Amino acid sequence: MHAEVIIPRNISRLRSTLIYRVPEPLAGILRPGHEVRIPLKTKKISGTVARILTDAPAYPTKDILEIINLQPYLAPWQMRLMLWISDYYACPLYKALELFVPKRILRKHRPPATEEIYPDSPAVPRELHTLTPDQQKILDEILASQKRVSLIHGITGSGKTEIYLHAAKYLIGRGRQVLMLVPEISLTPQTVSYFERIFEGKIAVIHSRLTDTQKTIAWKNIFENQAQVVIGSRSALFAPFQNLGLIIMDEEHEFSYKQDQSPRYHARDVILKIAEFLPEVKVVFGSATPSVETYYRAKNGEFNLLFLTERIERQPLPKISIIDMRDELKKKNYSVFSEHLADEIAQTLNRKEQAILFLNKRGTNSAVICRECGYVAKCKNCSSAMTYHFWGQSSQRPAPTLICHHCGYNTLPPLTCPICKSMAIRFIGSGTEKVENELAKLFPTAKILRADKDTTRKRESFKKIYCDFRDHKADILIGTQLISHGLHLSKVSLVGIMLADIGLLFPDFRAGEKTFQLLTQVAGRAGRILRKNNLADKVIIQTYMPENPILRAVQNYDYEKMYESEISARRPSKYPPFSHLIKLTFSHKDEQECIKAINRAKALLREKTRAIRQTADKGVNIFEISAYPSFWPKIKGKYIYNILIKTLAPNPEIVAPFIDIEGWKIDVDPISTL
């Protein structure tokens, strides 16, 4: 008997496994998923058994030395999932394996017995709230339906979390484990606090910012069936569940559920594959703004489609106003704040309430230009304009700086134009730093917090910002998309959205969908104050494109209008959900080499497509193969070109020549075509 063993490294191109003979004492014990000790050249290393083979290879093989763990780390369904990920997302098997078992476990390091994770939980009742009739109806349908996948399309503040808690309690009461996924690491502490008060001592937390020790402890608690609730970001999908019964994916629409490194999986599609392998598992997707693909499948009857159309205690959604910033320029108001928004901020502060200001761009100014010759300060390594950071008076940073947000290169801003020597250097555009600086001048007594990539680099920084704002230690929170979803803030009565047009300007087929989702989620942070007067919470959208249909759909909370618009636009051009996309990206420091590689790849793809069509029963149904430079043609000193394939179903044979080859990246079902 022989075994195919996954080697935790790249042996050679397209190869991640070796064949070993199974010695007689291990023949009746060894199973797929077992961790084994094997010889490799002059070393002894560990590997994972992928398959048991009855036929011996035609070449001599070495023996497996020993089984490391008596119980396989991976269950049979996880082995199938790992093989599917490797196949579907076109990545070496050893990279798929790394998703499932922490490296520390493989190295056999022994962690300490305990380590504290996430103290300082907000006050949440220990007992579950009684569900409203609408919530109870949805819970009953989730649990009783023959369809195992349900989509809750519930407006912001409608109580989806309470349904999650009740569903979890039901499954845990029957001895099952529950997985609760959140899109951002920053949301994990808040979600933990809700579940911890109900399932105290039964929770494991998994995400990428945990220490190795924390990850190992959580992994072992799940593996030993001591943790009944697992909470985390997308990586929690690969925890060693022993009796999984429910998967909840909150904020299902979020693109952070897509992995940006090989294997470039999407959590939603992995969840659906798990449900296929484990027929007893229930799946719940939840969102106020579901992804177009998921909503399409739900409307076509593949999933349960369940609606929550009212907020808890029938609180109204905040009224959304659209401000045309072109009119502000006519009034010679050159501030980042319209007169209306500045007035509403003042009134909010006078009422001792809180405001959120959203701008999905960090820094002080977007670019530095010369008004005489048109020079733009660009990164020496990338093709993008550099962002000006002033840092502010209280910052410990040095002088104002130009920074590239792609590669991190920084330099001092020019005093004169390096091309024409003019003094007409101007700083244009706005970022979160500029909003903070101008806000401090307008409202000098207001306490302001800022949440963006620059202020949340440390492990616990976002948690502190959130807790301070929740506890009203600050009056105004300025932030990027970090603050756009999931945060329950009961004292926020005003949301200001600055430069709402930013996302609409990208030439990507998902630009409208992304903008609608982001702005609707941000708007939902307001309107949660329980009032006894007739005051209404407000959302103010500032834009230079006030008639844009996406912004009008946001103003009216009209998801269906956005959805129908997207479906109508995508159907004739065969974009998802009417196709699958595969994006091949090639990068090289020499642009001509990029162009040559792309042309060779296009020819190879067309040849392979013709060959497969001639031999396959159903063909590969490739609609289109196109090549183009990346939206950012040069990043970190390398030129970037893309090939986009539209196909009815991804075929591993098509992209096999590009797997793990230097310079090439394969992205199946990419979230962007840029």
What percent helix, strand, coil does the chain show, rounded to 5? 30, 25, 45
Specify the residue for token string 């009684």: 130
Contact between residue 267 and residue 207 where contact means Cβ atoms under 8 Å apart: no
Q: Provide the pLDDT for residue 562.
A: 97
User: Residue 428: which residues within 8 A CB-CB, separation 6 or more?
Assistant: 365, 366, 367, 368, 369
Specify the residue for token string 């492990």: 459
HEC readout, 580-637: EEEEEEEEECCHHHHHHHHHHHHHHHHHHHHHHHHHCCCCCCEEEEEEEEEEEEEECC
Q: Provide the pLDDT for residue 427.
A: 86
**Pairwise CA distance, residues 15 & 6, whole Å:** 9
**Pairwise CA distance, residues 204 & 3, whole Å:** 34
Q: Provide the pLDDT for residue 270.
A: 98
Q: How far is CA 252 from CA 39, 287, 474, 582, 673, in A?
A: 44, 6, 30, 21, 20
> What tens digit of pLDDT does each residue of 622-633 get?
778 999 999 989
**pTM for the structure as a whole:** 0.89
Q: What's the average pLDDT block by block, 10 residues per block, for the chain (674 residues)?
A: 86 73 93 93 91 92 92 91 94 90 60 44 62 96 95 93 96 95 83 87 87 85 92 94 96 95 96 96 97 98 96 86 95 94 97 94 82 91 88 58 90 92 88 92 96 84 88 95 78 93 90 96 81 76 95 97 96 95 96 95 87 61 88 93 92 84 94 94
**Pairwise CA distance, residues 610 & 629, whole Å:** 25
User: Residue 592: which residues within 8 A CB-CB, separation 6 or more?
Assistant: none
Q: Provide the pLDDT for residue 613.
A: 67
Q: What are residue 355's DSSP bridge partners?
A: 476, 494
Contact between residue 180 and residue 199 where contact means Cβ atoms under 8 Å apart: no
294-325 burial, b if ≥16 CB within 10 A, otherwise e? bbbbbeeeebbbbebebbeeebebbebebbeb
The string of DSSP letters for 387-438 reads EEE---TT--S-S-EEE-TTT--EEPPPSS-TTT--S-EEEES--HHHHHHH
E strand residue ranges, 56-173: 66-67, 149-154
**Pairwise CA distance, residues 168 & 162, whole Å:** 10
Backbone φ, ψ for residue 294 (5° rounding): -70, -40
Mind listing the domains of the chain with CATH numbers? 2-106 (3.40.1440.60), 133-313 (3.40.50.300), 316-362+431-571 (3.40.50.300), 365-429 (no CATH), 580-668 (3.30.70)
**Pairwise CA distance, residues 326 & 348, whole Å:** 25
User: Residue 60: which residues within 8 A CB-CB, separation 6 or more?
Assistant: none
SS3 category, 495: strand
Q: Provide the pLDDT for residue 114.
A: 40
SS3 category, 141: helix
Contact between residue 647 and residue 559 where contact means Cβ atoms under 8 Å apart: no
Specify the residue for token string 């992209």: 655
Q: Provide the pLDDT for residue 313.
A: 77
Q: Which two tokens stand for residue 30?
A: 């060894």
